[in-house]
């Protein structure tokens, strides 16, 4: 156990020395800090967010989008929090802040961003239909499970471009291509970042072990999130959300629907619901 802890600390030291880790906007940091308190009041959250007019406007716009299915207009932060819940509002705050993490925004960054948002939207829909994990946990996991890519691209754009060339031109999985170039994985970087940002340990565990579902065998709740987000990633690839072109029927889901407890006939309807979420969630972009 101590050896594992020391290894993790050594890796974090290497990442810290090698990369400039991004910082979230001040209001977002404060929201996350407040949300870590289970007894935080809605009034405190409302006052904090309300002091940032730009963020307030974005939240209300997204809260009134078709994705959240609001039949009555949400006119203020109190209504947004009461109708959507604190976790949903937190997720909107984080999602609207993420573009600040990027140091540039060309084609590569646009594709990463689209895939992050697409995975968040799709994972939320899948979790709702599978009913074995919290949809808001699935959203934030979908949004942040690839955040390590953002940092590697920010800090080492030339190396990251080599990885993406292997992915797009040679159909090499990202996890294999990055090993050829970097001394640490984007998952390791991402897990360290969400830890530094103050997210729950569950999210850190999800990201760190995302590519090895067997490592989550004793973490059923986290495993279900990983299955939902993995399926969301596959659907993003199939429908071209964050990809140069749709993968179409060449994209296979494997055992993911089965692991989520879904029947074969449910997959088609889920795909339609996910595609609908992509069109309904355009305000996140």
Q: Can you give the pLDDT of all 285 residues of the chain as single tens digits? A: 444 444 556 778 888 888 888 999 999 999 999 998 989 999 999 999 999 999 999 999 999 999 998 778 999 999 999 989 999 999 999 999 998 999 999 999 999 999 999 999 999 999 999 999 999 999 999 999 999 999 999 999 999 999 999 988 898 999 999 999 998 899 999 999 999 999 999 999 999 999 998 888 889 999 999 999 999 999 999 999 998 889 999 999 999 999 999 987 899 999 999 999 999 998 887
Instruction: Please answer whether residues 91 and 136 qualify as being in contact, where contact means their C-beta atoms are separated by less than 8 angstroms.
Output: yes
Element (H, E) at 234: helix 220-239
Give Cβ neighbours of residue 49 (< 8 Å, ≥ 6 apart).
27, 31, 55, 56, 59, 77, 89, 93
How far apart CA 6 and CA 12 sit, in angstroms, is 10
The CATH code that applies to domain 16-284 is 1.10.3210.10
The HSE-up count of residue 126 (CA atoms within 13 Å, CB side) is 36
DSSP letter assigned to residue 261:
T
pLDDT score of 263: 87
H-run or E-run covering 279:
helix 264-280
How is residue 126 written in tokens? Answer: 């899948």
pLDDT of residue 5: 42
Secondary structure class of 40 (helix, strand, coil) = coil
* Cα–Cα distance measured from residue 282 to residue 285, given in angstroms and rounded to the nearest whole number: 5
40: left (phi over 0), alpha (psi -120 to 50) or beta: beta
Domain ranges of the chain: 16-284
Return d(Cα 73, Cα 50) in angstroms, integer. 18
Cβ count within 10 A of residue 85 = 12
Q: In angstroms, how far is CA 208 from the centroid of its own chain?
A: 13
Q: What is the CA radius of gyration of the chain?
A: 19
């Amino acid at each position: 156990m101590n050896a594992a802890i020391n290894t993790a600390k050594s890796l974090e030291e290497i990442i810290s020395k090698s990369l400039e880790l991004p910082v979230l906007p001040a209001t977002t940091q404060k929201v996350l800090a407040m949300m870590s308190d289970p007894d935080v009041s809605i009034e405190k959250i409302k006052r904090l967010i309300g002091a940032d007019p730009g963020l307030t406007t974005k939240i209300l716009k997204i809260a009134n989008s078709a994705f959240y299915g609001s039949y009555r207009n949400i006119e203020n932060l109190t209504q947004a929090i009461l109708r959507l819940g604190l976790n949903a509002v937190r997720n909107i705050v984080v999602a609207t802040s993420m573009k600040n993490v990027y140091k540039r925004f060309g084609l590569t960054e646009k594709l990463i961003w689209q895939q992050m948002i697409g995975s968040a939207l799709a994972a939320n829909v899948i979790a709702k239909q599978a009913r074995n994990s919290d949809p808001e946990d699935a959203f934030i996991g979908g949004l942040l499970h690839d955040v390590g890519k953002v940092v590697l691209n920010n800090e080492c754009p030339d190396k990251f471009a080599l990885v993406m060339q292997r992915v797009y031109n040679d159909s090499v999985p990202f996890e294999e291509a990055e090993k050829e170039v970097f001394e640490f994985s984007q998952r390791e970087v991402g897990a360290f970042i969400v830890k530094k940002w103050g997210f729950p340990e569950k999210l850190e565990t999800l990201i760190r072990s995302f590519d090895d579902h067997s490592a989550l065998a004793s973490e059923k709740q986290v495993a279900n999130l990983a299955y939902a987000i993995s399926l969301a990633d596959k659907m993003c690839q199939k429908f071209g959300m964050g990809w140069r072109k749709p993968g179409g029927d060449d994209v296979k889901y494997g055992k993911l629907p089965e692991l989520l407890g879904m029947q074969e006939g449910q997959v088609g309807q889920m795909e339609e619901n996910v595609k609908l979420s992509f069109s309904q969630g355009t305000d996140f972009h």
